[in-house]
């Protein structure tokens, strides 16, 4: 299924009706590409529900480009070399004393995917739920399925701004865009996200055990049944529970997810891409192309790799022509580029079996269940050609190993795992800056537009 994008991320076909008979009187005509919420809030047709679902999938991938580039730069998994605008190096790396403020360069680029895009998806999901709940054109079980799907995507999307601004907190109540709720502290936000995901899981359960009643894109191949979507919901919840440090819940959620200790590590739902009218994979770069704008592997990732690690060969392509970009803070040289994508239409997974197995290892380690943790670690190590783990069995030793394996297994995925991992284990000082002389950021402030809106509302 192709995506057709517009401001709302939906394509509802609407007819503008002229009510006046005076040929000189110009009546308001609804924009057919941007219908009002009111036009679908009451008794939406199955076709309109389908358009909203497709639009939500489109919104769901809006964070990819900027989060993959910026957050992975913050964690020094990559450099995003851009000769046209040096701020992608100087500001994102915190060179020459540059630090984030409310008008930080990243809010135009980073902030789009880290803040605005997730909230657009969240609001799209609200509209979808409103349409599903207030129609008589679909069955009760179909309504539950749609609500469960919408809440699952919402839970995923709320985690993006939450991890971006961290202790500064996020707005959770955004159902009324003109009157949003207050900023909620990080831990409280995570608890509320957990509630949303749990509600989504329960709603899906109330829909029965058959196929999802509407069409999903190829990104959900293998998960287009109600039980399959429940597994995706629980996988996302397991990631969330790791951030909440609720380790027993991580294991509970994993048992209900699509985790398979003997299965394909790559299995999981994905964001699909294609030719026009869809968009191409934004992380794909032609191998060895003569370019001066490209994502390259951070040198420290190459330095710290274990000899013989199969992930190095499969993910990093050594270029025949290194890319060099020079700014007022010095020169950065990229010798290797991303080799994960076969073409510009390759899908981008948003959670995979490999991550789930690593979450299992992490949960067992934090619960002092070393045998189970090592069993999960060995699955990852052997898949990478490294053989069984032979290090220490203390919690600290196992966490060291797990974070190392996460660094290579989840390298540069569109989530910024290493940046978040280092922060949640108080290890941001372990992220190297020697190659760029920059700064490691802990979190970001709220965009100035958010603060200005509060000021405007307070004055009016």
Q: What is the pLDDT of residues 359-377, one digit of tens each?
A: 999 999 999 999 999 999 9
- Indicate the pTM of the whole model: 0.92
> Tell me, what's the pLDDT at 457?
66
Model confidence at 321: pLDDT above 70: yes
Per-residue pLDDT band at 111 (split at 50, 70, 90): low
- Least reliable range by pLDDT among 104-118, 133-147, 280-294, 430-444: 104-118
The residue-averaged pLDDT of 191-202 equals 98
- Least confident among 16-30, 60-74, 107-121: 16-30
| End-to-end CA, the chain | 45
What is the chain's length? 460
Tell me: pLDDT of 36 over 90.
no
Residue 398, pLDDT score: 98
Model confidence at 10, pLDDT cuts 50, 70, 90, reads very low
Q: Is the pLDDT of residue 12 over 50?
A: no
- CB neighbour burial string for 334-372, b if at least 16 within 10 angstroms, e if fewer: bbbbbbbbeebebbbbbbbbbbbbbbbbbbbbbeebbee
pLDDT band with cut points at 50, 70 and 90 for residue 29: very low
Report the pLDDT value the prediction gives residue 22, as an integer from 0 to 100: 42
| Whole-number pLDDT of residue 330 | 94
**At residue 438, does pLDDT exceed 90?**
yes
- Of 350, 366, 309, give the one whose Cα is nearest residue 68: 350
| pLDDT more than 90, % of the chain | 83
Most confident of 39-43, 325-329, 387-391: 387-391
Q: Assign 5 a pLDDT band (cuts: 50, 70, 90).
A: very low
Q: How far apart are CA 155 and CA 165, in angstroms?
A: 17
pLDDT of residue 34: 55
**Stretch 147-158: mean pLDDT, rounded?**
98
Distance CA(10)–CA(53), nearest Å, equals 8
Under the banding of pLDDT at 50, 70 and 90, the label for residue 322 is very high
Looking at residue 26, its pLDDT comes to 39
Please check whether residue 352 is in contact with residue 267, taking contact to mean a CB–CB distance below 8 angstroms: yes
Query: Which whole number is the average pLDDT over 132-151?
Result: 98
pLDDT at position 19: 30
Domains of the chain by start residue, with CATH: 38-279+347-428 (1.25.40.390)
d(CA 70, CA 418): 12
Read off the pLDDT of each residue in 52-81 and give the average, rounded to a whole number.
97
- Ranges 111-120, 256-265, 283-292, 436-445: which has the least confidence: 111-120
For residue 108, the model assigns a pLDDT of: 62
Q: Which residue has the higher pLDDT, 151 or 4?
A: 151
Instruction: Count the Cβ atoms, other than its own, within 10 Å of residue 313.
Output: 13
Predicted local confidence at residue 18, as pLDDT: 30
What confidence tier does 105 reach under pLDDT thresholds 50, 70, 90?
confident
pLDDT at residue 6 in the model: 37
Cβ pair 32, 14 in contact under 8 A? yes
Mean local confidence (pLDDT), 426-432: 98
What DSSP letter does each residue of 190-238 carry, written as one string?
HHHHHHHHHHHHHHHHTT-SSB-SS---GGGTT--BHHHHHHHHHHHHH
Is residue 259 over pLDDT 70?
Answer: yes
pLDDT of residue 11: 36
**Sign, Cα dihedral of 327, 332, 334, 338:** negative
- Mean pLDDT rounded to a whole number for the chain: 91
Lowest-pLDDT range of 11-20, 49-58, 334-343, 405-414: 11-20
| pLDDT range class, residue 38, cuts 50, 70, 90 | confident
Q: Which range, of 39-48, 157-166, 223-232, averages the lowest pLDDT?
A: 39-48
């Amino acid at each position: 299924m192709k995506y057709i994008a517009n401001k709302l991320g939906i394509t509802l076909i609407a007819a503008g009706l002229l009510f006046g008979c005076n040929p000189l009187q110009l009546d308001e005509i609804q924009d057919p590409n941007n219908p009002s919420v009111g036009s679908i809030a009451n008794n939406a047709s199955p076709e309109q529900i389908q358009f909203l679902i497709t639009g939500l999938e489109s919104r769901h991938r809006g964070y990819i480009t900027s989060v993959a580039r910026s957050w992975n730069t913050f964690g020094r998994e990559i450099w995003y070399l851009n000769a046209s605008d040096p701020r992608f190096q100087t500001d994102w790396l915190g060179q020459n004393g540059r630090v984030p403020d409310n008008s930080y360069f990243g809010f135009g680029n980073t902030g789009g995917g880290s803040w605005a895009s997730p909230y657009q998806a969240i609001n799209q999901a609200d509209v979808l739920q409103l349409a599903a709940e207030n129609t008589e054109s679909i069955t009760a079980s179909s309504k539950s399925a749609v609500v469960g799907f919408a809440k699952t995507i919402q839970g995923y999307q709320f985690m993006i701004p939450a991890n971006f601004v961290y202790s500064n907190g996020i707005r959770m109540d955004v159902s009324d865009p003109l009157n949003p709720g207050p900023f909620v502290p990080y831990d409280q936000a995570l608890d509320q996200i957990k509630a949303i995901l749990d509600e989504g899981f329960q709603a899906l359960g109330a829909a029965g055990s058959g196929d999802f009643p509407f069409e999903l894109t190829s990104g959900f191949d293998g998960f287009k049944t109600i039980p399959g979507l429940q597994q995706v919901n629980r996988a996302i919840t397991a990631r969330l529970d790791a951030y909440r440090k609720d380790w027993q819940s991580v294991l509970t959620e994993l048992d209900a997810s699509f985790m398979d200790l003997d299965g394909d590590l790559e299995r999981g739902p994905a964001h699909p891409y294609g030719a026009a009218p869809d968009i191409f994979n934004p992380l794909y770069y032609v191998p060895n192309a003569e370019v001066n704008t490209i994502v390259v592997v951070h040198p420290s990732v190459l330095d710290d790799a274990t000899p013989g690690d199969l992930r190095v060969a499969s993910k990093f392509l050594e270029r025949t022509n290194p890319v060099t970009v020079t700014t007022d803070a010095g020169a950065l040289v990229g010798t290797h580029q991303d080799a994960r994508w076969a073409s510009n239409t390759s899908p981008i997974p948003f959670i995979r079996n490999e991550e789930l197995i690593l979450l299992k290892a992490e949960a067992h380690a934090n619960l002092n269940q070393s045998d189970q943790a090592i069993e999960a670690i060995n699955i990852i190590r052997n898949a990478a050609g490294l053989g069984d783990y032979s290090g220490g069995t203390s919690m600290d030793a196992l966490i060291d190993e797990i974070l190392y394996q996460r660094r290579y297994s989840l390298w540069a995925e569109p989530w910024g795992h290493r940046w978040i991992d280092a922060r949640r284990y108080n290890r941001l000082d372990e992220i190297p800056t020697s190659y760029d002389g920059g700064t490691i950021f802990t979190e970001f402030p709220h965009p100035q537009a958010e603060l200005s809106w509060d000021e405007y509302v307070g004055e009016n």
